[in-house]
Structure 1
Amino acid sequence: MGLTSNKVLVLAMFFAAVLFVGTVWLWPRLARQNWRTVSGRVGLLLATQLALFACVGLAANQAFGFYASWADLFGKETEQGIVVDHTAHGSTGGPLQVVSTSDVPGGRGSRPETAGQIQKVDIVGRASRIAAPAYVYLPPEYFQPQYRTRTFPVGVVLTGYPGTAESLVDKLNYPRTAQQLAKDGRMQPMILVMMRPSVAPPRDTECVDVPGGPQVETFFAKDLPEAVLAHYRVGKRPGGWGVIGDSTGGYCALKFAMHHPRVYAAGAGLSPYYKALIDPTTGDLFHGDRNLENHADLWWFIKHRPAPDTSLLVTSSKVGERNYRSTLTFIQGVQATNLTRISSIILDSGGHNFNTWKREIPPALQWLSGRLTDH
């Protein structure tokens, strides 16, 4: 049974209930003061608390999508993506391979012409030599005859760390939200490429080209656009790509838009930070290269590099987010430039969690759509 399976959660709740009842039932028998009864009481309390903790942890993981599998949870997921050859099914054998298709969660109907489609894909980077899975949302218009010659703008959607790409689909509801906004005329139909920024699991690379290690920024700035361009009807000229993410994904989204404005015309960071973190999950990202470290620092970049011709969106909340003051400072720094454009969503309250981001995603997608063009 998988980590996110409802059966696992129900089984954990059942054992917790059994241990609780057993503790209440056996407690009088363990009331004597000797080492056996004391050990029994300690054992029952520890077992019950561990069972309750497991229930809470499993429920939280299902709600927020931190880990996708047991291997992911215990850091055993070290294999990079496997490229699947689908030439027999009409694929060109390019850098993007479609693994499976599914309906949009919460969508109406199953026909792609009316409900859109989710494609699970494998992407292999020719420059970075990184392989990673992703989910691609194709809007209903993509399959409609009147749009057969039209190209579509692309929004790259990134999770936080560790995060799972599945959570972007079924927890944060990006496809369904984009579909509804387009139906209401509040945004244009867009292709969404949804994935996590940690494309070299279990390491958190902070979307950096690590010297002698994973070339993650190259993957997102060069390989990913080339793979999507080779497979889907998307525009080739600048202005048709944007990127959005939360937490670590928000930092990466801002960085990609600032470092590669001819690739990403707009970047939206939901609850972002502005400087690459260094901790046990990242390891040594820069290997003493001060220039590389400065380049990954968005504060330093906005002050010491020419202002990029791109649009940025940042979000925070006055109560509940640690990045509130740093976000205001970043806004002021960008405003001092003569080319980069900055917008913000500031909530009165909201923590660093899915509930907050669900409130920010609809206006952020609408903002992103308004800054992209199709060709």
Structure 2
Amino acid sequence: MGLMSNKVLLLAVLTAVLLFVGTVWQWPRLARLTWWTVIARVGLLLATQVTLFAAIGLAANQAFGFYASWADLFGKETGQGVVVDHAGRTAGQLKVVDTQRVEGGGRDPRAAGQIQEIDVNGRTTRIASPAYVYLPPEYFDPAQKMRTFPAAVVLTGYPGTARSLVDKLDYPRVARELAADGRMRPMILVMMRPTVAPPRDTECVDVPGGPQTESFFAKDLPEAVTAHYRVARGPGSWGVIGDSTGGYCALKLALHHPRVYAAGAGLSAYYKAPTDATTGDLFQGDRTRRNEADLRWFIKHRPAPDTSLLVTSSKVGESNYKATLKFIDKVKATNRTRISSIILESGGHNFNTWRREIPPTLEWISGRLGGPIPDGV
């Protein structure tokens, strides 16, 4: 049974309840002061607390999607990461491994769209990563079989799971409903986590001698998706959205690669790549790389890119509020980069806050990709 399985959570809860009841029931029999009764009391209390905390941890992991599997939890995930070699293969190395319907929609993809689970292999970076692709209902309409669509990469935080973007944050369902209401254009969403070399947090950086994560998102991923799906190829066809670490990556990709990403939205983003036990040494002493990974430094010292940015925060509950206001001021001082914001009165660094920000974010990014929204879509 997997870490995210409801059966595992139910088993942990039942075990904790049974141990609690058993402890209460057996306590009078263990009241005597002998060595074995003391050991038994300590053992029962310890077992009850361990199972209780395990149940709470499993519930929190299901709610927030911190770890996808037991191997991921214990830092032993090796199924995805840097692929040894892809020499000789053609561009667009993408394989569909499963399909599923959109929550709240019917089985017919022409009415509700479809979610496809894919594996992407980077042609130049040799990075492999799983992802989920949302295809809108219009994609399956025979009358629109020649139509192309704008696309947006959607990134989780760290460690995060791509599945949480589908199950917890409901990006496909929200996108379908907004498009049906005429509030956004039908779009393709490529949902994944920025952790493409787990368990390392590469912060979407091209690590010297390590994973070329920024290049994967800036070149390999759009290339592979465009080769497989009907993604528009003109300027302004791609956008990127992310929360937390994914939000930092989204803003950085839009700033560093404006010809690829015409818009980037950072929900609860920070503005400088951290260095800690999860990241390791990302820059290998390269001061230029370190500086350019600081988005505030980049805005001040590099030519302003022609791209659109959206940042979000909360006056109460988010630690990035003051940094976000400063970032907005720095971007406003440029003459090319455009900045928008969503500032809530209150809201923590969590899924509930991001669910409140996702609908306006999708509307915002839709309005900045591929020209004006056609009537009736």
Runs of 4+ in 1 over 4 A off after TM superposition: none
Deviation string, structure 1 residues 319-348 (Cα, Å, up to 9, x no partner): 111101111111111111111111111111
Aligned: 1:118 with 2:110: no
Give the match's secondary structure for 1:10: helix
Identity %: 76
Deviation at 1:6, TM superposition (A): 1.0
User: Could you tell me which residue of structure 1 aligns to residue 97 of structure 2?
Assistant: 99
Pick one of 202, 211, 216 that aligns with 2:208. Answer: 211
- Distance in 1, Cα, partners of 2:132 & 2:37: 54
**Is contact 1:153-1:373 (8 Å) kept?**
yes
Of 73-82 and 359-368, the range deviating more from structure 2: 73-82
1:106–1:159 distance in 2 versus 1, CA, 3 Å: same
Task: Give the residue type in structure 2 aligned to 1:220.
Answer: F
- Distance in 2, Cα, partners of 1:332 & 1:82: 38
User: Could you tell me which residue of structure 1 aligns to residue 47 of structure 2?
Assistant: 47
User: Could you tell me which residue of structure 2 aligns to residue 338 of structure 1?
Assistant: 335
- Distance in 1, Cα, partners of 2:319 & 2:216: 30
Pick one of 245, 250, 254 that aligns with 1:248. Answer: 245
Superposed, 1:193-232 pairs within 5 Å as 193-232=190-229
Give the match's secondary structure for 1:201: coil
Of 141-150 and 173-182, the range deviating more from structure 2: 141-150
User: Could you tell me which residue of structure 1 aligns to residue 129 of structure 2?
Assistant: 132
Give the match's secondary structure for 1:209: coil
Task: Give the residue type in structure 2 aligned to 1:132.
Answer: S
User: Could you tell me which residue of structure 1 aligns to residue 153 of structure 2?
Assistant: 156
TM-score (norm 1): 0.95
Deviation at 1:169, TM superposition (A): 0.7
User: Could you tell me which residue of structure 1 aligns to residue 19 of structure 2?
Assistant: 19
Deviation at 1:141, TM superposition (A): 0.3
- Distance in 1, Cα, partners of 2:39 & 2:317: 42
Give the match's secondary structure for 2:160: coil
- Distance in 2, Cα, partners of 1:21 & 1:302: 60
1:59–1:346 distance in 2 versus 1, CA, 3 Å: same
Deviation at 1:235, TM superposition (A): 1.4
- Distance in 2, Cα, partners of 1:32 & 1:287: 62
- Distance in 2, Cα, partners of 1:129 & 1:227: 12
Aligned: 1:169 with 2:172: no
- Distance in 1, Cα, partners of 2:232 & 2:25: 68
Deviation at 1:374, TM superposition (A): 6.3
Deviation at 1:34, TM superposition (A): 3.8
- Distance in 2, Cα, partners of 1:35 & 1:74: 36
RMSD (CA atoms): 1.5
**Is contact 2:201-2:279 (8 Å) kept?**
yes
Superposed, 1:269-280 pairs within 5 Å as 269-280=266-277
Give the match's secondary structure for 2:125: coil
Deviation string, structure 1 residues 157-177 (Cα, Å, up to 9, x no partner): 000001111110111000000
1:196–1:66 distance in 2 versus 1, CA, 3 Å: same
Deviation at 1:93, TM superposition (A): 8.8
User: Could you tell me which residue of structure 1 aligns to residue 29 of structure 2?
Assistant: 29
User: Could you tell me which residue of structure 2 aligns to residue 65 of structure 1?
Assistant: 65
Deviation at 1:102, TM superposition (A): 1.0
Deviation at 1:230, TM superposition (A): 0.6
User: Could you tell me which residue of structure 1 aligns to residue 74 of structure 2?
Assistant: 74
TM-score (norm 2): 0.94
- Distance in 2, Cα, partners of 1:94 & 1:319: 44
Task: Give the residue type in structure 2 aligned to 1:267.
Answer: G
Pick one of 277, 280, 293 that aligns with 1:283. Answer: 280
- Aligned length, in residue pairs: 366
- Distance in 1, Cα, partners of 2:81 & 2:113: 26
Deviation string, structure 1 residues 228-248 (Cα, Å, up to 9, x no partner): 111111111220100000000
**Is contact 2:269-2:312 (8 Å) kept?**
yes
Superposed, 1:299-338 pairs within 5 Å as 299-338=296-335
Deviation string, structure 1 residues 227-270 (Cα, Å, up to 9, x no partner): 01111111112201000000000000000000000000000000
Deviation at 1:94, TM superposition (A): 4.2
**Is contact 2:239-2:263 (8 Å) kept?**
yes
Pick one of 179, 183, 186 that aligns with 1:186. Answer: 183
For structure 2, the residue ranges without an aligned partner over 5 or more in a row are 84-89, 373-377
